[in-house]
Amino acid sequence: MKIIEYQACYKKQVEHIAMMTSSKAMVDPIHAKFTLAMYADPYLDHGIAYLIEDQGSIYGYILCASNYLSFMSHKKEILNKMPPAYHKRALKEWNIYAKYQEHYPAHLHIDLLKETRGMHLGTQLMQTLIQKLKEEHVEGLMLGVSLENKAAIAFYTKNGFHILEQDEVSVVMGLCLK
Protein backbone atom coordinates (compact mmCIF):
# COMPACT_ATOMS: atom_id res chain seq x y z
CA MET A 1 0.00 0.00 0.00
CA LYS A 2 1.22 3.46 -0.83
CA ILE A 3 0.16 7.09 -0.47
CA ILE A 4 -0.75 8.81 -3.73
CA GLU A 5 -2.19 12.18 -4.69
CA TYR A 6 -5.88 12.18 -5.56
CA GLN A 7 -6.85 11.69 -9.18
CA ALA A 8 -10.41 12.09 -10.48
CA CYS A 9 -10.54 8.43 -11.55
CA TYR A 10 -10.69 7.53 -7.83
CA LYS A 11 -13.67 9.77 -6.97
CA LYS A 12 -16.25 6.95 -6.76
CA GLN A 13 -13.94 4.90 -4.52
CA VAL A 14 -13.38 7.87 -2.21
CA GLU A 15 -17.12 8.48 -2.04
CA HIS A 16 -17.67 4.78 -1.28
CA ILE A 17 -15.23 4.98 1.65
CA ALA A 18 -17.03 8.10 2.92
CA MET A 19 -20.24 6.05 2.93
CA MET A 20 -18.65 2.94 4.48
CA THR A 21 -17.15 4.92 7.36
CA SER A 22 -20.39 6.73 8.23
CA SER A 23 -22.85 4.45 9.97
CA LYS A 24 -25.78 6.80 9.26
CA ALA A 25 -24.93 7.18 5.57
CA MET A 26 -25.15 3.43 5.08
CA VAL A 27 -28.76 3.29 6.27
CA ASP A 28 -30.15 6.72 5.36
CA PRO A 29 -29.88 7.94 1.74
CA ILE A 30 -30.56 11.55 2.76
CA HIS A 31 -27.71 11.42 5.29
CA ALA A 32 -25.56 9.85 2.56
CA LYS A 33 -26.10 12.93 0.36
CA PHE A 34 -25.14 15.14 3.29
CA THR A 35 -22.00 13.09 4.00
CA LEU A 36 -20.77 13.43 0.43
CA ALA A 37 -21.71 17.11 0.15
CA MET A 38 -20.12 18.04 3.49
CA TYR A 39 -17.16 15.75 4.01
CA ALA A 40 -15.99 14.45 0.64
CA ASP A 41 -16.85 16.16 -2.64
CA PRO A 42 -15.97 19.77 -1.75
CA TYR A 43 -12.47 18.71 -0.72
CA LEU A 44 -12.03 16.69 -3.89
CA ASP A 45 -13.21 19.65 -5.95
CA HIS A 46 -11.43 22.46 -4.08
CA GLY A 47 -8.80 21.00 -1.77
CA ILE A 48 -5.88 18.68 -1.26
CA ALA A 49 -6.38 14.92 -1.16
CA TYR A 50 -4.08 11.97 -0.57
CA LEU A 51 -5.18 8.37 -0.88
CA ILE A 52 -4.07 4.96 0.34
CA GLU A 53 -3.82 2.94 -2.85
CA ASP A 54 -2.97 -0.68 -3.57
CA GLN A 55 -3.28 -2.22 -7.04
CA GLY A 56 -5.84 0.36 -8.17
CA SER A 57 -8.03 0.11 -5.08
CA ILE A 58 -8.41 2.87 -2.50
CA TYR A 59 -8.48 2.02 1.21
CA GLY A 60 -8.48 5.43 2.83
CA TYR A 61 -7.92 9.13 2.35
CA ILE A 62 -7.09 12.43 3.92
CA LEU A 63 -8.90 15.45 2.49
CA CYS A 64 -7.98 19.01 3.32
CA ALA A 65 -8.94 22.58 2.57
CA SER A 66 -5.70 24.47 3.07
CA ASN A 67 -7.44 27.84 3.43
CA TYR A 68 -10.75 28.04 5.29
CA LEU A 69 -11.80 31.39 3.79
CA SER A 70 -11.09 30.25 0.24
CA PHE A 71 -12.94 26.98 0.89
CA MET A 72 -15.94 28.89 2.28
CA SER A 73 -16.18 30.87 -0.94
CA HIS A 74 -17.82 27.65 -2.22
CA LYS A 75 -20.34 27.52 0.65
CA LYS A 76 -23.38 28.16 -1.57
CA GLU A 77 -22.30 25.45 -4.02
CA ILE A 78 -21.80 22.98 -1.13
CA LEU A 79 -25.18 23.80 0.45
CA ASN A 80 -26.91 23.39 -2.92
CA LYS A 81 -25.63 19.80 -3.10
CA MET A 82 -26.83 18.84 0.37
CA PRO A 83 -30.34 18.15 1.62
CA PRO A 84 -31.88 21.34 3.10
CA ALA A 85 -32.54 19.54 6.39
CA TYR A 86 -28.76 19.52 6.97
CA HIS A 87 -28.02 23.18 6.14
CA LYS A 88 -28.33 24.30 9.77
CA ARG A 89 -25.88 21.58 10.89
CA ALA A 90 -23.36 22.52 8.19
CA LEU A 91 -23.57 26.23 9.01
CA LYS A 92 -23.09 25.51 12.73
CA GLU A 93 -19.97 23.42 12.01
CA TRP A 94 -18.54 26.05 9.66
CA ASN A 95 -19.18 28.79 12.23
CA ILE A 96 -17.18 26.87 14.81
CA TYR A 97 -14.27 26.52 12.38
CA ALA A 98 -14.53 30.22 11.50
CA LYS A 99 -13.50 31.10 15.07
CA TYR A 100 -10.17 29.33 14.60
CA GLN A 101 -9.41 29.95 10.92
CA GLU A 102 -6.94 32.77 11.56
CA HIS A 103 -4.42 30.51 13.32
CA TYR A 104 -5.64 27.18 11.91
CA PRO A 105 -6.68 28.03 8.34
CA ALA A 106 -6.53 24.44 7.05
CA HIS A 107 -9.06 21.82 8.03
CA LEU A 108 -9.14 18.13 7.27
CA HIS A 109 -11.22 14.99 7.05
CA ILE A 110 -9.67 11.50 7.18
CA ASP A 111 -11.19 8.05 6.78
CA LEU A 112 -9.68 4.58 6.58
CA LEU A 113 -11.40 1.30 5.90
CA LYS A 114 -11.30 -0.97 8.95
CA GLU A 115 -8.94 -3.48 7.34
CA THR A 116 -6.20 -0.83 7.11
CA ARG A 117 -6.42 0.47 10.66
CA GLY A 118 -3.46 -0.28 12.90
CA MET A 119 -1.03 -0.30 9.95
CA HIS A 120 0.13 3.31 10.59
CA LEU A 121 -1.34 4.40 7.26
CA GLY A 122 -3.36 7.16 8.94
CA THR A 123 -0.15 8.54 10.40
CA GLN A 124 1.50 8.36 6.97
CA LEU A 125 -1.43 10.23 5.43
CA MET A 126 -1.25 12.86 8.18
CA GLN A 127 2.51 13.29 7.77
CA THR A 128 2.15 13.61 3.99
CA LEU A 129 -0.53 16.30 4.38
CA ILE A 130 1.39 18.18 7.07
CA GLN A 131 4.51 18.26 4.89
CA LYS A 132 2.47 19.67 1.98
CA LEU A 133 0.86 22.33 4.20
CA LYS A 134 4.25 23.36 5.61
CA GLU A 135 5.59 23.71 2.06
CA GLU A 136 2.64 26.02 1.37
CA HIS A 137 3.43 27.99 4.58
CA VAL A 138 0.07 27.16 6.16
CA GLU A 139 0.11 28.23 9.81
CA GLY A 140 -2.17 25.61 11.34
CA LEU A 141 -4.58 22.76 10.82
CA MET A 142 -7.91 22.02 12.54
CA LEU A 143 -10.60 19.35 12.55
CA GLY A 144 -13.76 18.33 14.31
CA VAL A 145 -14.45 14.91 15.81
CA SER A 146 -17.23 13.27 17.82
CA LEU A 147 -16.48 12.85 21.53
CA GLU A 148 -17.67 9.26 21.12
CA ASN A 149 -14.78 8.57 18.75
CA LYS A 150 -12.13 8.03 21.43
CA ALA A 151 -9.78 6.22 19.02
CA ALA A 152 -9.77 9.20 16.64
CA ILE A 153 -9.14 11.67 19.46
CA ALA A 154 -6.21 9.52 20.63
CA PHE A 155 -4.89 9.35 17.04
CA TYR A 156 -5.04 13.13 16.61
CA THR A 157 -3.44 13.72 20.01
CA LYS A 158 -0.64 11.30 19.10
CA ASN A 159 -0.13 13.34 15.94
CA GLY A 160 0.27 16.60 17.89
CA PHE A 161 -3.25 18.04 17.87
CA HIS A 162 -4.69 19.71 20.97
CA ILE A 163 -8.25 20.59 21.95
CA LEU A 164 -9.41 24.06 20.93
CA GLU A 165 -13.07 23.68 21.94
CA GLN A 166 -15.36 21.01 23.28
CA ASP A 167 -19.11 20.74 23.73
CA GLU A 168 -21.38 17.89 24.79
CA VAL A 169 -21.01 15.97 21.49
CA SER A 170 -17.83 17.03 19.71
CA VAL A 171 -14.39 18.49 19.99
CA VAL A 172 -12.44 20.83 17.71
CA MET A 173 -8.72 20.12 17.63
CA GLY A 174 -5.84 22.12 16.22
CA LEU A 175 -2.21 21.68 15.26
CA CYS A 176 0.28 24.54 14.85
CA LEU A 177 2.47 24.03 11.80
CA LYS A 178 4.99 26.86 12.24
Which pLDDT score, from 0 to 100, does residue 118 have? 80
Quote the CA–CA distance of 131 and 138 in Å, as a whole number. 10
Quote the CA–CA distance of 149 and 154 in Å, as a whole number. 9
Domains of the chain, residue spans:
2-176
Phi-psi region of 50 (alpha: psi -120 to 50; beta: other; left: phi over 0): beta
Q: 2-176, superfamily in CATH?
A: Gcn5-related N-acetyltransferase (GNAT) (3.40.630.30)
Quote the CA–CA distance of 55 and 107 in Å, as a whole number. 29
Which pLDDT score, from 0 to 100, does residue 114 have? 86
Which pLDDT score, from 0 to 100, does residue 119 have? 85
Which pLDDT score, from 0 to 100, does residue 25 have? 62
The one-digit pLDDT tens for each residue of the chain (178 residues) are 999 999 999 999 999 999 888 877 666 788 888 888 888 999 998 899 999 999 999 999 999 999 999 999 999 999 999 999 999 989 988 988 999 999 999 999 999 998 887 889 999 999 999 999 999 999 999 999 988 889 899 999 999 999 999 988 889 999 999 8
Which pLDDT score, from 0 to 100, does residue 26 have? 67
Q: pLDDT tens, 80-102?
A: 999 999 999 899 889 889 999 99
3-state secondary structure the chain: CEEEECCHHHHHHHHHHHHHCCHHHHHCHHHHHHHHHHHCHHHHHHCEEEEEEECCEEEEEEEEECCHHHHHCCHHHHHHHCCHHHHHHHHHHHHHHHCCCCCCCEEEEEEECHHHCCCCHHHHHHHHHHHHHHHCCCCEEEEEEECCCHHHHHHHHHCCCEEEEECCCEEEEEEECC
